[in-house]
Structure formats: structure tokens, C-alpha cells
Amino acid sequence: MLKFALSCPFQGEDFDRVLDEVEKLKLEYVDLRTIGDKNVTDLTDSEVQELESLIKKHGIKVSSISPFLFFRLPLTVSEDEVTIRGSYSEHLNIMLNRAIELAKKFKTKLIRCFSFETEFLFSKSGYKDLPFDIWGKIIERLEKAAGIAEKNDVILAIENCHWCNLGTGLLVVKALNEIKSKNLGLWWDPANSVMASGENPYPNEYEKIKDHIVIIDMKDEIIDKRYNYWSHVAMGKGGKLNWPEIFQALIKDNYQGLIALESCYIPKNGTIHDGAMESFSNVRQMLTSLKYGSKS
């Protein structure tokens, strides 16, 4: 039975209202990312207590903690050099430790992370190896984070992101195979794979990465790599991804993780909440067409 969550990039939103939305959508899980105007790892202890009370009030479970760990952080500077996105040492020793603390508080093992500021322009196929010096630095710095995850019994889920070095699921899995840590996994975002490579990640990418997926981001976009153009649309309205086929494959393969709607779509004259409602309505129609009952 497929299970769904709502990911929360709801900048500036009243989080009580966001959780009302989760209840209206009949979801059990929420990914903690942006709370009000802060990332979840930037909340004070008293703000975390308030968040904990809200989550208990709504009877929601936390699927994952989503700091911007290593997101677009340059690799070409020393570990202690401070950039516009902080330093690697700060991410490793402060942000990650805070995320681990929150993961334990909210009873989840999953923490989202990224693969640093991209230092490589992907070929059209998107699957060409990165230059060795950059690749080696990615592995070295992710290995240190994996060691901390192992000591704390959490899983760092590396999202394939077109703004970062590992833009496709295939590249993330290549890194996972090299590091060989049971505390690293793939946060698979099929739309990001399209953005990074221009290619549909299903079925070829999916078949090669499926055993490493620990959670999936669900969103849809109209993408034209020729003009580097994309726009967010409701689920099922994009031009590349066949989500019913992906759902069918996940059902067939007995996928046990969560699928989190990354709420980026805002309909004309509507709100981000309207976009989430429309997307989940479309997802339920897709699942009904598969004659499958989902837990959503």
C-alpha cells in the first residue's frame, strides 16, 4: 500500500494551517522543512516545543527532517571557509547535529541532504562521470557525514538535485555504491532527474536505483531543456513523467517508503494550498485508474 506525505516548503505560512491541510488531505505524514520563516534546524528549543505540540494536536507523524544540508555549498573552498551558505564544518558539526537531535525528538530516521554546489555541466545524457577531483571531494565529504549518521542511527537521504553535483538518481547511487554506508540512501526526485539530464528517469533510471530509494519527492513540471525552461504544474499535467507508470512500478516492487508531495505548484489566482489539493486529487484519480487502494 503506497503511503504519502506532504513536504513543507510553505515559506511564511502559519504551520497550524499547514497541518490542517495535511488533515484535509487525509495524510498521516509531514516532512519538516520550512516552519514559518525558518528552516526546521534553525528553530529555537521553545519553537521546537510549540511545533511538537502542534503535531501532536493534529495527530500527524513526521516522515523526515529536511535541513539544507550541503545544499549548493561550494566544494572548492576549505572545510572551515565561510561562504554565503556557511561552511562545510558548520553544516557537518552544527546543522547535521541539530537535524539528528530533531529526528530523534520527532521519531524519524530520515534526514535530507544534498551534494554541494554543482561544479559540472551535465552532458545531454546526464550520466557522464564527474571529473575525478570533484568526485573525490564529494565522496570524501559525504563519507564524513555518513560516519556521523552511523554513530547516531539515522539515515542521510541524498536528494538528486539539478542545482547540485548529483543531479540524477544514477549519480547518487554511484556515490552510495562507492561509500558503502548503510546509513546513506537515495531521496529520489524524478522531476529533478529530468531537469539534470533531459531524459525520462522511468523506466531505465528507476530499474537501476530502486533498491536504494528510501523516500520519493513527487512533483510535476513542464520542462524544456533546449531553453532551460520549466514551470511547476499540478500532478499529472507535466510533459515528461508518467506518474501512473511510476506508481504501478512501486506497487509491483512492494515499495515500503513514503512518497512526499513537494508543494511547488500554485494555480492561477490560487494558493500553494490549492495546488496541493489539486495535485492530491489528481494522484487519487491516477491510483483509482490503476484499481489500487492507496493509503493517502
Domain at 230, CATH number: 3.20.20.150
Q: Which amino acid is at 221?
A: E
In angstroms, the first-to-last Cα distance of the chain is 9
Residue 197: pLDDT band (50, 70, 90) is confident
Domain assignment of residue 80, yes or no: yes
Averaged pLDDT, 3-11: 84
pTM of the model: 0.93
Averaged pLDDT, 258-267: 93
Higher pLDDT pick, 35 / 10: 35
Averaged pLDDT, 129-146: 86
* Calpha distance 2→69 (Å, rounded): 27
Domain assignment of residue 294, yes or no: no
The CA angle 7-9-62, to the nearest 5 degrees, is 35
Domain assignment of residue 158, yes or no: yes
Domain assignment of residue 67, yes or no: yes
* Residues 197 and 170 sit within 8 Å (Cβ to Cβ): no
Residue 243 is given by DSSP the state: H
Report the pLDDT value the prediction gives residue 153, as an integer from 0 to 100: 98
Domain assignment of residue 98, yes or no: yes
Instruction: Quote the domain boundaries for residue 229.
Output: 3-289
Higher pLDDT pick, 290 / 79: 79
User: pLDDT of 202-241, one tens digit each?
Assistant: 999 999 999 999 999 999 999 776 766 789 999 999 988 9
Q: Name the 3-class secondary structure at 222.
A: strand
| Dihedral sign of CA atoms 91, 94, 95, 97 in order | positive
Question: Could you give the number of structural domains in the chain?
Answer: 1
Averaged pLDDT, 127-140: 76
Domain assignment of residue 210, yes or no: yes
Domain assignment of residue 296, yes or no: no
Q: Name the 3-class secondary structure at 282.
A: helix
